[in-house]
Structure 1
Amino acid sequence: MSMKYLGMRMAPALRLSWTIMLVLALGHVGFATADPCEQYTNISDPWRNRGFLSTSSQLQLKDDSDLQEGWYRFVGVGGDILDFASIPIPSLAEERLGYCAPYSPTVTNINLCAGAISNGSVDVKVCSSRYYVHKLRPTTSNQIYATSHQRCTESSCGEFSQCGTLGACVCKTGYEMPKGLLPTGDTYGCTDTDECALAGSCGVGADCVNSPGSYHCECVSGYLPHLSSNNTLTCTGKHWPDYRIDQQVYEAECKTQLSECIINYLTGIINSSKDLPPNDVVLILVKLLESLYDLSRDTTVKTDTLIRHINSVLRSSEEVMDILMPANVKMRSHLHITTSLAELQQITIGPDANPRPVAIQIKADDTQLEIDLSKNNADKISASLLVFTNMEKVLTADFFLTTESVNVSTVMSKVVSVTLRPTTRLSSPVNLTLKHTNVVHPQGVLSCVYWNGSAWEVDGCDVTQTNATHTDCTCQHLSTFAVIMQVERNLPKIAAMVIGLIFLILTLVTFALCALNPKVTNLARLNLCISLFQAHLLSLLVQELILHILPHKVLCRVLSGLQMFLYLSGFLWMDLDTLLLLLSIMMLKKLKKPRGEGPNCGHLSLIGYMLPLMIVVVVVGVMPAGYGTEWCGVRKRGGLSWSLLGPAYFLFTVNLIVLLIAFISLCLLSSNESPLKEEIRNVRCQAVRVLVQSVVITSPWVLGFFYMGYGSVLDLVFLILISQQGTFIFLIHCVLNPEVQSRWKRLFQKLASISPTPLNNM
């Protein structure tokens, strides 16, 4: 075989070999240049943390035997660095994984932190001097890579855990590692310890109440806190002499008011004993509040006496918050206590907190507090927020002294107390967000107030923002706070509405006396007055009771629909009255007397009430949320309530057209040669009354197009016109009607002629 042929046969193989070598070389260059700081996998396992504890023998510990080889970065609550001394994995009955030696970032080849000594190695690389990545490989069975926190902060370990020694995470006081489970997710896995499950937590005469991270005791009914000679607090006795310290001192007072005696006794304990355990002072606080609420319900207690005890309880509450402040806090401490009568949230910042917070935010029972600490240089700062459950029933709005005696005041939030220790000096105003406990009145004015020791005041507190559910308060000082709403009672409006209703009643009485006289009344006119009376009365009652109605949404919508029905019914009966006038004129043109003609009572009633009812039903079907606004009225679109004003303007237009036809026909009707001169004259008088009646009823609603808002001139005109409709109708159909005048004159003469029967004739 020639060399030329051999070369030709080997050329493809050589080319293939060179290609493979080139690919391998390029691949080697690509792998060699890959930066572990750019290509790594995050790994966050809370159970890796060196402080992890397990108290269950059934816990199946994890290992890293299935771990894929590669570069990893430790993040999250498990830790951010690898511990590097070797540790053994404990048996299933043991509690602790063990400890590793502190991390040294100068070492690049480190022993595996699991199993026996020198059982493998880990490569580590520092990335931008900010974090580390590690080259991890699969381990043998029962071996893990244990981690810790190099830079442990307040959020490193999770919500209910905290930094321990050497970067380990440990559960906060009152919390424990869940039994039989490995912690997962974004928390270290600590859960609340149920101290009440422990036998004898509170002793005889007391109930144990567990709360997150803590617990407290509450004396049962008939028992009171008693401070023994060794400064131990227990619930003792079922009768006051059994647990009173000095019976002679309190004997007279306790006979008149037991609650006062209890308050004096318990406040004395708090003032004299500053080293009571937290559970004891909480027990006293609950009993103090319970006694104060009992005292406030006693109507025989004088206001000065009640205020004195209120101040005493509030001062004791502040003392309780001071006693609960932890003494030895290095970084941060959070205390949360919930009782049947109050909720307490307390945050303490220690001197070693890093970074030091600029502000403290506390949330308790839908109340949020924010205190600025930017200029506070104290080593340890403790802020407390105490939310009272029923204090608004004791510190009522009656203690809010305003210059407007016609205002109606209501406490709109729960009463809260705020303290800051060791100093009360604020770097900037304190911000409070308080949730409303009542419905805000449409015309209500909200004020942020504080308790000055005798009354609610607004000095130094401002409303920064408010909506239907919350109010933000900014106050220049610390105290006991609340939100109060003032509603100005519009007495002139109420008086005007009442006057109009009285004249509507007089009109109905007159119509009843002249029921058979067509020159005075007819069915349409009678039902018009009945509908207007019911509509105005319902509107007045709804406005006066709006705060009691608004919480009941269904009732509010029903009343809103009922008001619309009554007003539309009145407008339609006005149209029917005008139509009856036109029918009378048509009969006169045929030289017939109008009496007894036209639709019967059943047909008129069907039209006058069924058509408005159908309109209300249609509105409910088309717009289910159309009723039940802040006034329990109809929804507004573009400033007008079209579900009411739309049908109303249509009925007004129909009434105007019928009136024009009636007056044109009346003008064409000659009475000089007619045999029905008297009837024509009466119909003309009725036409004038119907015209004025239509103007009185329609003019207030026409002003709806020009509504300017509360306080405008048109508002005053609207109030006068709509409230005095009954007065105008009484003047039109009764005072200025000769038939009614003669009827009332005969009635008065008849009453005057009746004299008492002489006794000698008996």
Structure 2
Amino acid sequence: MGVGNKELLILGLMCMLGNCFSKCGKGFITNEGRDCVDVDECNEDPEQCGKGAKCYNTNGTYYCVCLPGFRNIAGTINFTVTTGQCRDINECTAEGGRCGRAGHCSNLIGSYNCTCQSGYFSPNGTEKCREINRCEESKINICGENGTCQNDELSYWCKCQQGYSNYGNKRTPCSELKCDGFSADSGPTQSPRGLANILSMMRNSCLALSSPSAAGGEKFDGETLLEKLFTATEAVLSPGRPDTAEDVSLLLGTVENSIMFIGPQLKGNHTKIQTNETDAQIAVRRGSTRPTGAIHLTNENATLETDWETASGTGTYPGFAMAALLTYKNLKISGNRSFEELKGREKDGVDPSFQIFSRVVSVVVSNPSTQNLSRSVNITLRHLKDAEESPEERYICAYWTERETWSTDGCYQHHSNATHTVCTCEHLSSFAVLMALYPIEEPFGLLLVNNIALIISIVCLLLSILTFMFCRSIKGTRTTIHLHLCICLFLADLIFLAGISQTEPVNGCRFVAAMLHYLFLGVFTWMLLEGVQLYRMVVLVFNATIRPLYLFLAGYGMPLLIVIISAIIRPKGYGTDKFCWLSLEDGLIWSFVGPVCFIIVINVFFFIITVWKLAHKFTSLNPELSKLNKIKAFTVTAIAQMCILGLMWVFGTLLFQEGTVHTRTVSAYIFTILNSLQGALIFILHCLLSKQVREEYAHFLSCICTTHKKRYSDLTSTNPSSTQSQGSRSGQQTSESQI
């Protein structure tokens, strides 16, 4: 009771001092008029809600709301200092991709900032980066004169006029499509078989790219079109084609233009394609900026060393650059006319002959000014065969011109070894390494031996011809064969001595080559007839005569037929730059070597049978032993004759082929010696060693040496024993001549 009174007393004192029990509630205050007034907590304490929040006063209280870039840790939107707190939001992680793919996001307290890549911008620093409107901001038409710049929400693209294209790269300038360059009407009327298919395919693809609605246009992707190109090229490069300089130029130009057209359509940066006839590598770079750096393209037969500045050029950059290396594995560009521009390289007053010593290689780049490059390019070409450069040989770097000839202007040899030649060129085209062959003057000794040997052979053959024509005691089929064999060999040696090196005029040289071809084939044909005759003499028991008509048809007709067919098939194969003989390049030499090998094989067969038959007859008691001995002698002489002539042409083949100086010199000496032995051997074996012929010679000489009176007295002599002896000898000779 007492305690309660004390508390009431204290309470009363407090009320008297401070007006304790006010009639205003929490968040209000009494003003001077004793009215309740709201307290503005936000105004009294600006940090009431803390950093990152905004304070809102209400009647009797307040609440806090987080500013953008902040978030209440309690998760509610409205809060007080006792129920929440604002914390910074990392927009770069919380909301990925806020600046877009072309921007970089940087977090700030309560905000963030977008940093854009080159060519992009963010309007206020917090929006997604988008591409600059180049259609409006660029001072030049970035799509080219024949393209229209089109803007979309984030970028731009180029719309090309008909006849122009950016090859699917929509943000690159429009380039002209030269579809008319793939027209068959632009080339020779007689083009290589299959090339028309390439031109048609490329033209249709070009028209389809130029205008998708073009009639007949069939559109392929770059890789498919490239594969179709080289499949069709392989058909054009089949053996024996192209066979003219015009066809070669058309093929090279068509393939180069096709690669220029296909290159920008390839998806990959490096493409390689290989067929049986070609080997190609193509490098492509795309982008708004011109590429830089080195280019290295290589295959089994060639290597290209250059850079992207050279490949793209210094003019307007179309958004892509390309470099291609193409090797033709079996393309042959030959003919004297193709080397006309290389004349004037005399050495000791003598012009060299030329031959292609590497694969033909084409280099294609997107630079439109390939005839005036800012830097030289290096092209390494592998030789067709390993060979050390000798005094009579020189390696030359050459390119194929529009004039359909080889030229060296702006292209020179940088380095050569046994296997490769490095060519440095100031322009681009189709290249090859040529070998200049300087003829070596024949030694005086060889010329002397050659002339003496041929003269000896000609004299011996002439004596043999006269003997076979006028010696009555040896008349018969075998003598007829020997006579015409000697006639063919005599004429061949005369023409060989006078015209083998007379290469001018060309038609005269071809006539000499054709006559030598015919006459030497005739020699071997008559040798074959001799083998047949020996075979018949043994097998048919000596009844072996052959009608002269059949001999002439075979001995002269067969060689004539071979020469006519050869001249029709390969008329330009008769005569070379060095000799008036058959060319070794186009296979015409086999029209001589083939029949010769066949005749030798057949003769060997006949001789083996003949020797076997003779051996069998000698073992028996044969009354015709003397005749067998004669046939044996005939066979031995025929075999010796065939061996001499066969060996002569083994070395003759080496003489007319390209080889080392030592090999050709040795072959020339042996060929010359054997050639002289051929005529001398016929005269010795068939004339001097024949008893009948020697008696005829003795009788002829005695007639010359005896005076007219002596001869008259001998003729009027009536000695019966002499007459009987002469008659007996004449009968014996007549019986022997029948063999």
Q: TM-score range by the shorter chain?
A: 0.3 to 0.5
Query: Structure 2 length normalisation: TM-score?
Result: 0.37
Query: Structure 1 length normalisation: TM-score?
Result: 0.36
